[in-house]
Amino acid sequence: MVNYGGDEVSALVLDFGTSSLRAGYAGDDTPKAIIPTSFGFIEEPAEANGGDVTMGEAGATEGEQPQASKPKVKLYIGQNGPSLWRSGMQIGNPMQDSLIQNFDAIPPLISHALSEVMRCNASEHPVLVTEAAWNSPANRERMAEIMFEEFQVPAFYIANTGVLNAFAAGKGSALVIDVGHSTASVIPVVDGFVLRKGLMHCALPQLVHAHAKHLLTSPTPTRQGIQLIPHQLIASRTPVDAGVPPRFTLREDRRAGTTDSWRAWAENREVEEWIQSIGGVLPQGWNDSAATSQGSRHYEFPTGYNNYFTGVERYAVGEQYFAHSAQLMASNPNLPKTIPSLVTSSIGQCDLDLRQVLLGNVVLTGGGSLFAGFADRLANDMGRAFQHVKIHAPGNPTERRYGGWLGGSILASLGTFHQLWISKEEWQEHGRAIVGQRCK
Amino acid sequence: MAASAADVRSILSLPNAPGTGPPTQAKKPQAAERAKKPEGIPRELYALIGPSIPTMAAQFAKPRLKQKPNIGGGGNVKWEWRPFRNGARTDDLRLSHWVKSSVDPEADYPFAKYNVQTTPYVYSQDEYNRFLEDSNWTKEETDYLFNLVREYDGRFLVVHDRYEYPGGTERPLEDLKDRYFSICRKLVRNRPWPGDEASKAALISTLTFDKDKETLRKQYVASLVNRTPEQIAEEDALYLELERLKENERRFKKDRDELLRTLCGIESGLPDIAVDDDGLAGTTLDTKKKRKAVAGSVEPQTPVTPSASSVIALPQPQPKKSSAKSAAYDALHCIVRTEVEQTAGSSTKAAHVPVHLRTFKMAQPKAAVAPRVSQVVGEVGISATRIVMPTRDNLAKFASVIDAAQQLVEIKKAVDKHEQDIRTTRARLAILRGENPEGEGEALETPMDVEEGEAEGDVEGRGQSVMSTRSARSRKQGRRSMSVSSVDTANGPNKRQKQR
């Protein structure tokens, strides 16, 4: 055991993302619980107890914590939370800009992951939580407070996803390129510390998403705008040929109970699914003929509408990560920076002596980077801009998507790490200040 | 041996039939026999073959397997979920982990030993006032810097990243390092040092930081990094061009050397003559013959002329001119270069001067006068054939001595000649005045003898050598001084003939 420095104290690792919350035991290679961060909620005006019906419908795995805040709300969390249609259910997401904005929903989410999915008691395990590199001190202190006060954890630590991604790749110093669900960031890590001056992040994935949605819903010369109606709202459909307007019937009974936020969430899911299924990035840069030669792919929407999407359509989506078209730039001056320009500005902020260290240890991570051809394109673009670039991009999708959790799992199972935990005793003695002192 | 009833019983593990005395008695030796039975042979088979064929035993022996490794030290290892105290922590946190129950619960946490703290440098207000003042830094900012360095364990890159002194200016990394290390150096120098001076100097040398040098270095790095792609491309192109030129030059030189070697052979002065000696000698002979043929033939142009003319047209390899630099080098290293004689036009091996000992090139008197010269130098106590210490200088002196002796001998000879002439003329004069003419020949002979005799008288014990000297002289044509005497001797008979 001592040989590899591991000493497991059955710590728990919690990794918050915009898309999902990952939880598991330190020392494992995959999180035990992966639940969507988005949650459904129904505001209950009074003591009206309609929960029983929904409870039965949602099943046993559904976490249900009545909020203590003013308007009483019922939360629907987990795999059967937002994805099940419920009358009047709205969708919320505590994350914004990869930071936790709405702490009200955090305890139920954690509780669901730990108690309902992992079936463990948080008060028996030290807990390591991840945070974005640009997290505010107030946010991390709030998180510590939640863990200590609500979950009674014996020890707590909050670590940076950038650093953890570097650790997951086995590196102490690295340039971490993290493409997540809502944010793309470039984080220079040196000796396990984030260089804040070189930290760059922007909402590029949201732009890609919006672009794809626009592409699908707006009519083109060859097709009408596509209706992004989720399957939950469709009663029946009949098969149609490719490109032909779909024939389906809506569930009229659900029309009234569908909230806007749920509708938006469901539509975004459709878009996301489409992107993930047939989107891609051209490895050698944008080139119309190359895009065309990639061929078209078939995709069918829940309405039954199906079509062959040409190479240009498919690859234009991923191209947004690396280059913006001139007309888009002209129409929107505040576009988020592309990945190459993020990397360039990040490297430019770092010390010259570090440049080679960082460029030789580029770590590509995050679910967004699983786009077909993304790693190749990044290697090509960076190879053109810099010399001696070496990119570490795990081929295993789990490692790529949950790199932050994996790094936390490694860190929290190290024997030498256990001196860094903030114990409950220290928390009570020093209060919030201890978080900033210990977790640098 | 057939199986007995007792055997059957033992096979079926039945108790022996009671009251059967003889079988019991018979069984005893049998049991003893069985005890001797080699392992692995079935008892029945052993009973058949008896103890006579023991070589078969090995084949029937049960193969002995290697003992299984006993992982975990044998027996069941008991593991416990046990809380432990981490020595590296300041508080009382008890985390739990799985340990073998054999481990001492009171033992130190094995990972606590990795918690190595560096001893930070701290200074007092007094020390600061005395020698740490700096116009660019306030005490507060210096404190802030030292806190950060301690907090990040001296990782200056991180310190520089997190350095945000309120109200302070943006400081480059070199500034921070310079300030920190200069303070550390001053503290080490000015504090009483418990160890010896060497360790103190070693510690100070680890704390050195040359700000100007680092800044300059960083500028160089920046200029290297900030090259535009065009500049990099140009640099690459230039480098390639340079390489190409170098390669061209190398090839040109190689070709030229090759040409020289083929045409001038060894004389070209180039090392690594590839041609073997026989072939070379053959070719040179051929060219010689051809040239002779050319010279001898009536028509001046022959088919072989192209090669011949090319040989002629080829410039002779220039003798290496010793530049001032190489001369100085030679003087410093006592190198003396002998001038290699260049015989123009001849490409024979004979022109080549091989490596030789200096004594081989010792000055030799001319063969005609050699014995007398050696006699002369012998008289002054010098051996004419051997020098004890043949250094360059000694050889030069020796050569001058030999030369002087040779001249002496020749002058003496000339003087003798003239005296002889005078004597013969006088004799002739006497004859003309009234002597008989037939005595002339005698008179001619006698003075020679007299002369020889005189010479003999002058230099004792040289009589026999003089004759040989003379004969040698008449045989061989000498040079300057020789020609004088030969003219004399030649004149002699002429005169005589005329007179006759």
- pLDDT tens digits, one per residue of B316-362: 445 445 466 777 888 888 777 766 555 555 556 666 777 778 777 77
> Chain B residue with minimal CA distance to A420?
B89
CB proximity list for B346: less than 8 A, separation 6 or greater: none
DSSP state, residue B265:
G
pLDDT digits (tens, 9 = 90+) for B385-416: 777 888 888 888 888 888 888 899 999 999 99
CA pair distance A151, A126, nearest whole angstrom: 11
**B92 three-state secondary structure:** coil
The answer as to CATH 3.90.640.10 being correct for domain A205-323 is: yes
Of the CATH numbers 3.50.50.60, 3.90.180.10, 1.10.10.60, 3.20.20.70, which one belongs to the domain with range B125-226? 1.10.10.60
Q: What band does B224 get if pLDDT is binned at 50, 70 and 90?
A: confident
pLDDT on residue A25: 95
pLDDT over 90, % of chain B: 18
pLDDT on residue A380: 93
Inter-chain residue contact B161 with A415, CB threshold 8 Å: no
CA pair distance B454, B27, nearest whole angstrom: 142
Q: Which of B77, B84, B95 to mutate to test the interface with A (most CBs of A within 10 A)?
A: B95
Inter-chain residue contact B95 with A353, CB threshold 8 Å: no
Contact B266, B349 (CB under 8 A): yes
Cα distances from A198 to residues A349, A387, B158, in angstroms, run 5, 19, 11
- Number of other CB atoms surrounding residue A217 within 10 Å: 14
pLDDT higher than threshold 50 for residue B465: no
Inter-chain residue contact B97 with A126, CB threshold 8 Å: no
DSSP state, residue A223:
B
Please provide the distance, in angstroms rounded to a whole number, between the alpha carbons at the two ends of chain B: 149
pLDDT higher than threshold 90 for residue A202: yes
Inter-chain residue contact B115 with A416, CB threshold 8 Å: yes
Q: What band does A434 get if pLDDT is binned at 50, 70 and 90?
A: very high
- Written as six digits, the tokens of B409 are 């001998």
pLDDT on residue B392: 81
ipTM over 0.90: no
Q: Is B116 on the interface with A (CB under 8 A)?
A: no
Region B283-312 average pLDDT: 44
CA pair distance B234, A138, nearest whole angstrom: 52
Q: Which of B84, B115, B161, B173 to mutate to test the interface with A (most CBs of A within 10 A)?
A: B161
**A43 three-state secondary structure:** strand
Q: What band does A113 get if pLDDT is binned at 50, 70 and 90?
A: very high
Region B58-68 average pLDDT: 70
Contact A318, A279 (CB under 8 A): yes
CA pair distance A407, A300, nearest whole angstrom: 37
Q: Which of A351, A381, A439 to mutate to test the interface with B (most CBs of B within 10 A)?
A: A351
pLDDT digits (tens, 9 = 90+) for B125-168: 888 888 888 888 888 999 999 999 999 988 999 999 999 888 87
Give strand pairing partners of A363. Answer: A176, A392
pLDDT digits (tens, 9 = 90+) for B64-111: 777 777 766 667 788 999 999 888 888 888 899 999 888 888 888 888
> Chain B residue with minimal CA distance to A417?
B111
C-alpha distance from B122 to closest chain A C-alpha (Å): 20
Inter-chain residue contact A440 with B151, CB threshold 8 Å: yes
CA-based angle B323:B312:B252, to the nearest 5?
60
> Chain B residue with minimal CA distance to A192?
B158
- B474 or A304, which is more confident: A304
Inter-chain residue contact B93 with A423, CB threshold 8 Å: yes
Q: For residues B48, B53, B55 and B56, what is the CA-based torsion angle, rounded to 10 degrees?
A: -20
Q: Is the pTM of this model over 0.80?
A: no
Q: Is B115 on the interface with A (CB under 8 A)?
A: yes
- Written as six digits, the tokens of A278 are 């047939």
Tell me the domain boundaries of chain A.
205-323
- Written as six digits, the tokens of A259 are 């909230």
Region A126-148 average pLDDT: 94
From chain A residues 196-215, the ones with a CB under 8 A of any chain B CB are: 196-198
Inter-chain residue contact B110 with A426, CB threshold 8 Å: no
Q: Which of A25, A224, A198, A41 is nearest to A119 (CA)?
A: A25
Inter-chain residue contact A191 with B89, CB threshold 8 Å: no
**B73 three-state secondary structure:** coil
- B239 or A52, which is more confident: B239
> Chain A residue with minimal CA distance to B158?
A195
> Chain A residue with minimal CA distance to B114?
A416
Inter-chain residue contact A193 with B114, CB threshold 8 Å: no
Inter-chain residue contact B95 with A8, CB threshold 8 Å: no
pLDDT on residue B299: 44
C-alpha distance from B149 to closest chain A C-alpha (Å): 13
Q: Which residues of B touch A351 (CB under 8 A)?
A: 157, 160, 173
From chain A residues 403-432, the ones with a CB under 8 A of any chain B CB are: 415-416, 418-419, 421, 423-426, 429
Q: Is A195 on the interface with B (CB under 8 A)?
A: yes
Amino acid in the structure at residue B247: E
- A125 or B301, which is more confident: A125
Q: Which residues of B touch A425 (CB under 8 A)?
A: 91-93
Q: Is A155 on the interface with B (CB under 8 A)?
A: yes
DSSP state, residue A372:
B
Inter-chain residue contact A352 with B222, CB threshold 8 Å: yes
CA pair distance B308, B300, nearest whole angstrom: 12
pLDDT digits (tens, 9 = 90+) for A16-38: 999 999 999 999 999 999 999 99
Q: Is A2 on the interface with B (CB under 8 A)?
A: yes
Q: Which residues of A touch B114 (CB under 8 A)?
A: 415-416
Amino acid in the structure at residue B325: K
Inter-chain residue contact B91 with A191, CB threshold 8 Å: no
**A384 three-state secondary structure:** helix
Q: Which of B90, B113, B157, B109 is nearest to A437 (CA)?
A: B90
Q: Is A3 on the interface with B (CB under 8 A)?
A: no
**B97 three-state secondary structure:** strand
Q: Which residues of A touch B162 (CB under 8 A)?
A: 196
